[in-house]
């Protein structure tokens, strides 16, 4: 079993070290910065553009993110993870300045597309930092804790965002996120300026993709991850718009989404520990997928606009999603080493691929059925992940 250690301040640190705790803090802040505006992005862009233009913007984010992920390995190999992270954060700050001041969809669209690409690359850098401070023996616990803190930020974000919005003045939301970015820049510069990158292999993008494709378990896992990200993308873009159409206020939506996200805080760390203790990732992954699919399909049959009803059914969709997410992350990072950032960049393509697929899929489906009925289709899509999860071989 290989030990993976971070080099911080010139000294090798163990599993329970300053680098690891710093990454826990950064994971929380990364997510808070992203989560606060995430559920208002579609509503914000819809002020300046129609439904087609907004969907086109979200589709373009996937293209830019795919390009970014394909370039991430050559970039991190050339500049190092620390410098790359710093440049990305500075670029993000500039993008958020554009989101605050621009008032035209043709200016906001490109800035938003670039900001999403940079955000995905920032999490790529954070994966390398975190993996360098991990050991395979504790991958489930470390990833469980990391995801718990990440998702705690998501639990807090709806209330924060709804409290910042006054009328259609969304700029306060983006200003708050930009302020968090400044804090992130300071923490990265102070704590990782002596980070030593592993020796990255000499490997082209096409070679990395072929190497990834040769691994049956990673292929199946990537399909589960892709479907999970389609679920996230669908819910993030279209659920707020649908709830607003039903007559919910942003204060109501803040309550609903806060309750909805609680499972990520409650169950991911315990499930990570269970996976480390011997119960296979596959079994938990399949169970979570079924729960997610059934609860999502049930949304199509809710006729009441009650806050509690929507909060509870959305809560159960996230019980399933939280289980699937922590198991896919735990399984993947048990399979790779810090130096395998090329494999990591290929795996992370599942998220921008979902960005590309979901808006197109949604527009096609809702041209035949209502938005609410489309949740049945999304539930069926979630069930497609079950056979892929079944054929993944447990690491234990």
Measured CA to CA, the distance from residue 59 to residue 184 in angstroms comes to: 28
Three-class secondary structure of residue 203 per DSSP: coil
Structure tokens, 370: 């209502």
Q: How many domains does the chain divide into?
A: 1
The residue range of the domain holding 353 is 9-390
Residue 203's φ and ψ, nearest 5 degrees, are: -155, 130
Q: Is residue 4 part of a domain?
A: no
The dihedral of CA 198, 354, 47, 254: what is its sign?
Answer: negative
Q: What is the pLDDT of residue 75?
A: 83
By the 10 Å C-beta count (0-12 exposed, 13-18 middle, 19+ buried), 366 is classed as middle
Q: Is residue 144 part of a domain?
A: yes
Q: Is residue 72 part of a domain?
A: yes
Q: Is residue 396 part of a domain?
A: no
Measured CA to CA, the distance from residue 47 to residue 25 in angstroms comes to: 34
Contact 162, 253 (CB under 8 A): yes
Q: What is the pLDDT of residue 136?
A: 57
DSSP for residue 394 = P
Helix axes 171-191, 18-38, angle to 10 degrees: 170
Q: Please measure the distance between the N-terminal and C-terminal CA atoms of the chain and give it in whole angstroms.
A: 13
CA atoms within 13 A on the CB side of 280: 11
Measured CA to CA, the distance from residue 29 to residue 183 in angstroms comes to: 8
Beta strands 7-8; 11-12: pairing state: antiparallel
pLDDT along the chain (396 residues), means of 10: 37 54 89 86 85 82 81 82 92 94 92 90 83 66 81 83 80 92 93 79 68 81 92 87 84 87 86 73 90 94 86 95 90 71 75 82 89 93 93 72
Q: Is residue 395 part of a domain?
A: no
At 34, which CATH number? Answer: 1.20.1250.20
Q: What is the phi-psi region of residue 387: left when phi exceeds 0, alpha when psi lies from -120 to 50, beta otherwise?
A: alpha
- Tell me which residue of 60, 39, 159, 167 sits closest to 108, measured CA to CA: 60
- Tell me which residue of 163, 193, 192 sits closest to 176, measured CA to CA: 163
Q: Is residue 228 part of a domain?
A: yes
Three-class secondary structure of residue 8 per DSSP: strand
Q: What is the pLDDT of residue 382?
A: 95
Whole-prediction pTM: 0.72
Contact 341, 69 (CB under 8 A): no
Measured CA to CA, the distance from residue 385 to residue 280 in angstroms comes to: 17
């Amino acid at each position: 079993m290989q030990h993976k250690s971070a080099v911080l301040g010139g000294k090798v640190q163990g599993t329970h070290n300053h680098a690891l705790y710093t990454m826990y803090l950064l994971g929380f802040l990364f997510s808070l910065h992203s989560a606060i505006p995430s559920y208002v992005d579609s509503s914000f862009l819809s002020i300046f553009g129609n439904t087609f233009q907004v969907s086109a913007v979200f589709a373009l984010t996937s293209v830019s993110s795919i390009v970014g992920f394909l370039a991430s390995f050559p970039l991190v190999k050339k500049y190092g993870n620390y410098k790359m992270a710093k440049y990305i954060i500075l670029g993000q700050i500039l993008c958020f300045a554009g989101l605050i001041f621009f008032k035209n969809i043709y200016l906001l669209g490109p800035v938003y597309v670039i900001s999403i690409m940079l955000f995905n690359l920032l999490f790529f850098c954070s994966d390398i930092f975190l993996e360098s401070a991990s050991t395979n023996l504790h991958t489930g616990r470390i990833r469980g804790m990391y995801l718990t803190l990440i998702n705690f930020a998501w639990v807090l974000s709806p209330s924060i965002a709804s409290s910042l919005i006054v009328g259609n003045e969304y700029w306060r939301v983006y200003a708050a996120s930009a302020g968090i970015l400044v804090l992130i820049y300071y923490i990265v510069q102070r704590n990782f300026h002596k980070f030593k990158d592993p020796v990255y292999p000499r490997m082209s993008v096409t070679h990395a993709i072929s190497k990834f494709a040769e691994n049956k378990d990673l292929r199946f896992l990537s399909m589960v991850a892709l479907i999970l990200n389609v679920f996230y993308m669908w819910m993030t873009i279209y659920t707020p718009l649908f709830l607003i159409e039903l007559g919910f206020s942003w204060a109501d939506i803040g309550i609903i989404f806060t309750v909805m996200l609680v499972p990520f805080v409650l169950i991911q760390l315990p499930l990570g520990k269970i996976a480390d203790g011997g119960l296979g990732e596959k079994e938990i992954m399949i169970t979570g997928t079924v729960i997610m699919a059934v609860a999502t399909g049930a949304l199509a049959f809710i006729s009441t606009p009650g806050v509690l009803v929507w909060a509870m059914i959305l809560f159960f969709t996230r019980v399933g999603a939280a289980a699937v997410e922590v198991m896919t992350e735990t399984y993947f990072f048990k399979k790779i080493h810090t130096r395998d950032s090329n494999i990591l960049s290929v795996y992370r393509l599942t998220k921008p691929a979902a960005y590309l697929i979901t808006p197109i899929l949604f527009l096609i489906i809702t041209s035949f059925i209502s938005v609410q009925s489309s949740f049945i289709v999304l539930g069926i899509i979630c069930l497609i992940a079950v056979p892929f999860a079944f054929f993944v071989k447990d690491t234990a």
